[in-house]
Structure 1
Amino acid sequence: MLDELTAMVKLMGSITKAIAESQLKGSSALGESLAYAKLMDANLKNLIVALGEKETLKSNFRKILEHYIAQRETLGWPVSATKKEELAKQVRNAVEKL
């Protein structure tokens, strides 16, 4: 009976060791996943900021463009109204594609 108990204790010890190793590997994988998630979060935040900056830039450029167009109209360049409007439309479209 003592031999059986000794064998059981050895078996339980090896099972406990395997469980501990698996938990250690799981903790390591969890840590790596957490680090990756934090990196992705930082990248997404940077992307959101960059998109906001891009929209601000486009908005400011639109204001400058509209001011230019208005001032150009007051100068009275000797160009037909159709050509002026076509130019303005082309430039607006180019700004939107930024």
Structure 2
Amino acid sequence: MSHKSAWKAEKLGYTNVKVFAAGFPAWKKTGSYYAVETSYVKNVIDSLKPVVIVDARPTRPAYVKGHLPGAISIPYNKFDEFKGILPIDKNIPLIFYCGGYT
């Protein structure tokens, strides 16, 4: 799918297009960041496995107005100030969300 997506991007005029040919599983193994679908987040929440979901939007009004169940608020511009509330166990997955991708 990566090659097809890159080809479509080039057809739209993008010139700095790169493909990670080894695919998503290999990308994850590198420890690189990646985006996930909302269905993935729901499955993680429903599984009751340890996970920390971080709402990176401003606390007021966004987090206060509504957030994912169990999410903690660490606004992106206050990350250094609040990073101490993240789990000590570095194997616990962290899922960050904001107002970016729909």
TM bin (shorter chain): under 0.3
User: Which is helix-richer, 1 or 2?
Assistant: 1
Superposition TM-score, scaled by structure 2 size: 0.17
Higher relative contact order (CA 8 A, sep 6+): 1
Q: Which has the larger radius of gyration?
A: 1
